[in-house]
Structure 1
């Protein structure tokens, strides 16, 4: 059987050791593997022992890579598996690595899910449906997702939705009030909020829109509509304009006021 004739520390990694058998370099091992198998100069190693040592060293490498990956933030089991696959590790090795990470309490999908939800609630304005989808994509099972989402209560969701609604309203003051509320509802739905949360948020939303602002908003939209329908005249023109502006959310009172003033301008030759 081959005999260990030399053991040396690697220059670039002092936690790994080069093993020489019968005067020739054969493999390297992690410090933990070296100690576990009592690899010492003069020790004979059978081919079976060598295969077992190499297997355990591969597992140890995988564990070290995973722990390094975990050092930046908590990860789900699926994230660790995907990362190790990118490192082209064998599935059997990955399975053993995951088992050891659970043993050493580096992995816990429930704790990960709870931490993830709390972080998203404290640092973002995502709706519950978006966060749930992200957890599903990270491989968290439905029971853990349901428990973790309990840390994003309905009142907090409404609070976040209202903040987004207020911000959107400020940025889109040129819209009619009806159109603004429709756009906000669509915006919040895209952010992952449920219909119930959106309804509660909109009930608490106060859009202070003075009459002049609504009037000038109508004029801007009417000018665009006029360019589309200026080829029409009389009753047909009025109907086209009314339909267009009404769909934009303006009241019939304001629309008719605009059309009267427009007609007066034409009569006066302006």
Structure 2
């Protein structure tokens, strides 16, 4: 039995797509672009091979459109795009064709992607973490090694030292045991992806040797920050207190809401307690 196109109608929800009817029954939907490209029209006789070509081409066009929308949000690797299209259940032949198109027009470029990823992340973590994440994104180990080798051990250690100094100040606020502090600092740097030699060098440079050293970090770090931020904390608390007082009369509830608000802002509990006493009770002493 011959196959005759009996109807071509525009889809209601998609202006650029049409429904094709053959011998009075719905056959498939496709891009309106393909109607003109393959010269499809009502009354035209069409064979199975022609139908397959139209359907394959339509799958390619829809897959390409979805891939372009996917990568416009952020840079993606070839592996990520392939995985995305596989989840959409496109055939491998269609996916391969889409990827070739994207690579030809530089919409995806694994080397560019990997370099950008390293540049962004080397400021917050070590090569170990970066290597692992790039492997998961389908970047070849050879490419990863070539890019990471451009970063000197000295530069990586400089970043690790800055991260360790910040972490040490936090640890020294709540811990007085030197052994525990060193252990937690080592664990922190390992979690950031730094190797043994880098961690050893960083910890040695911090010279966590005496209890007085911990107190120095507390006084020079924590207390100095506390002093510098006191005015800011007090100002924020006073403004919030004024707003709460307009809608709440219960002093206990006001105090609780203000305390929760400041804790969410990341301020230290002891500072918050002092501020609450200053504002609500009107005490003159800050400390």
- Deviation string 1:183-204 (CA, Å, 9 cap, x unpaired) is 3223212210012322332343
- Deviation of residue 82 (structure 1)? 1.6
Q: Is the 2:176–2:211 contact (alpha carbons within 8 Å) kept by the matching residues of 1?
A: no
Secondary structure at the aligned position of 1:116 is classed as: helix
Does structure 1 retain, via aligned residues, the 8 Å contact 2:11–2:19? yes
Aligned residues of 1:128 and 1:152 also touching (Cα < 8 A): no
How much does 1:127 deviate?
Answer: 1.2
5+ long unaligned stretches in structure 2? 217-287
Give the length in aligned residue pairs: 212
The answer on whether the counterparts of 1:118 and 1:151 sit within 8 Å (CA) in structure 2 is no
Aligned CA distance change for structure 1 residues 12 and 67 (closer, same or farther; 3 Å) = same
Whole-angstrom distance in 1 between the partners of 2:111 and 2:117: 10
Shift of the alpha carbon at 1:108? 1.6
Name the residue aligned to 1:230.
none
Alignment of 1:104-119 (within 5 A): 104-119=105-120
Measure how far apart 1:113 and its partner are: 1.0
Contact 1:18/1:25 (CA < 8 Å) preserved in 2?
Answer: yes
TM-score by length of 1: 0.68
Kept in 2, the 8 Å contact 1:117–1:152? The answer is no
2: CA distance, partners of 1:169 / 1:212: 9
- C-alpha distance after superposition, 1:127-168 (max 9, x if no partner): 110010011111111122123324644343223211221122
Q: Distance in 1 between matches of 2:70 and 2:180?
A: 47
Q: Name the structure, 1 or 2, with higher relative contact order (CA <8 Å, separation 6+).
A: 1
Match of 2:242 in 1: none
1:89 partnered with 2:90? yes
> How big is the shift at 1:79?
1.2
Decide whether the 8 Å contact of 1:18 with 1:27 is kept in 2: yes
Q: Which residue of 2 aligns with 1:154?
A: 153
Q: CA RMSD in A?
A: 2.6
TM-score (norm 2): 0.65
Structure 1 residues 211, 147: closer, same or farther in 2, change over 3 A? closer
Match for residue 17 of structure 2?
16
The aligned residue for residue 168 of structure 2 is 169
Change (3 A) 1:213 1:53: same
Call closer, same or farther: CA 1:21–1:201 in 2, change over 3 Å.
Answer: same
Alignment correspondent of 2:247: none
Larger radius of gyration: 1
How much has 1:26 moved relative to structure 2? Answer: 1.9
Counterpart position of 1:249: none
Unaligned ranges ≥5, structure 1: 215-270
Residue 132 (structure 2) aligns with: 133
CA–CA separation in structure 2 for the residues paired with 1:88 and 1:159: 46
Give SS of 1:20's match: strand
1:16-66 alpha-carbon deviations (Å, 9 max, x no partner):
122233444321112443343233344332111001111121122221221
Measured after TM superposition, the shift of residue 209 of structure 1 is 4.8
Equivalent residues in 2 for 1:8-47 (5 A)? Answer: 8-47=9-48
